[in-house]
C-alpha cells in the first residue's frame, strides 16, 4: 500500500480539487483570498466565509488546503523524523499521543512519531477522498457528521504541528523554513478557532507558541 510518507517516492500533496469538480470555484476563491490576505499580512481575513458562499463548502476546501500545507512541511523534513530520533509520538515529555482508528487499530497503540504521522496522514487522506463525507458534486449534501469528522481531522493535524514545534524546530530554523511554518500554523489556528474546530485542551502543548502569534 502506498504511504503518504514513503521515503522512496517523490513527496507531494495527496488531495486536490480538480477543475471538473462542481465546487472548484470555491477552491479557486479560497486561494485568491489567501493570497490577498498574505499580501496584506491579515490571515484572519483568509479564513472568513465570503458572502454568498456555503459554509460547509468553505470548510471543506480549506481543510484540504490545510492538509496539503502540513503535508509539505512535514515532508520537507521527514527524513529527520525517524523511529530512532523520535521513538514516541509526542509534543514534549508531557504530551504523548497513541494511535487508534475504527479500522485497523481499534485499541490505542504506542508507535514512533513517523509511524504515527504516516497512519494519521493516510487516515485523513481517506476521509477527504470519501465522497460521502466530502462530496464534490454541487447536488450532493454534506452528511450530518461532517463537522465532527472535520474536528477530528483538525485535532489530529494539530498534533503534527505540535510534534514539529517540540521535536524539530531547530531543523526548521536551520533550513530557514521557520517563517513558512509560522504562516501555515497561523492560518491553521485562525481557521480552527473561527469555526470552533479545535478543543482548547488539545492546544495545551503549543499554548506558548499560540500566545506569541
DSSP assignment string, 69-138: HHHHHHHHHGGG--TTT-SS-BSSTT-B--B--SSS--S-B---HHHHHHHHHHHHHHHHH-TTTS--ST
pTM (2 decimals)?
Answer: 0.86
Residue 131 and residue 77 in contact, taking contact as beta carbons nearer than 8 Å: no
Residues 61 and 178: their CA atoms lie apart, in Å, by: 25
Q: pLDDT digit of tens for each residue in the chain (213 aa)?
A: 333 334 333 344 555 555 555 566 676 777 676 666 666 567 888 889 988 888 999 999 899 999 999 998 898 877 889 999 999 999 988 999 999 998 888 899 999 999 999 999 999 999 999 999 998 887 789 999 999 999 999 999 999 999 999 999 988 888 888 888 999 999 999 999 999 999 999 999 999 999 987
User: To which CATH superfamily is domain 24-212 assigned?
Assistant: MOB kinase activator (1.20.140.30)
Amino acid at each position: 500500500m502506498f504511504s503518504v510518507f514513503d521515503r522512496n517516492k517523490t513527496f507531494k500533496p495527496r488531495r486536490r480539487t480538480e477543475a471538473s469538480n462542481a465546487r472548484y470555484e470555491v477552491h479557486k476563491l479560497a486561494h485568491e483570498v489567501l493570497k490577498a490576505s498574505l499580501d496584506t499580512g491579515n490571515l484572519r481575513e483568509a479564513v472568513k466565509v465570503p458572502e454568498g458562499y456555503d459554509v460547509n463548502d468553505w470548510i471543506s476546501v480549506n481543510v484540504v488546503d490545510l492538509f496539503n500545507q502540513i503535508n509539505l512541511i512535514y515532508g520537507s523534513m521527514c527524513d529527520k523524523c525517524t523511529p530512532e530520533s523520535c521513538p514516541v509520538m509526542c509534543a514534549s515529555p508531557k504530551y504523548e499521543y497513541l494511535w487508534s482508528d475504527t479500522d485497523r487499530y481499534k485499541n490505542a497503540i504506542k508507535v514512533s512519531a513517523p509511524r504515527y504521522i504516516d497512519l494519521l496522514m493516510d487516515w485523513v487522506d481517506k476521509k477527504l477522498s470519501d465522497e460521502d463525507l466530502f462530496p464534490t458534486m454541487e447536488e450532493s449534501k454534506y452528511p450530518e457528521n461532517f463537522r465532527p469528522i472535520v474536528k477530528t481531522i483538525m485535532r489530529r493535524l494539530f498534533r503534527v504541528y505540535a510534534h514539529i514545534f517540540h521535536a524539530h524546530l531547530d531543523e526548521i530554523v536551520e533550513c530557514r523554513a521557520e517563517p513558512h511554518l509560522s504562516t501555515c500554523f497561523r492560518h491553521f489556528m485562525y481557521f480552527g478557532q473561527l469555526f470552533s474546530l479545535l478543543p482548547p485542551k488539545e492546544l495545551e502543548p503549543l499554548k506558548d507558541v499560540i500566545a506569541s502569534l
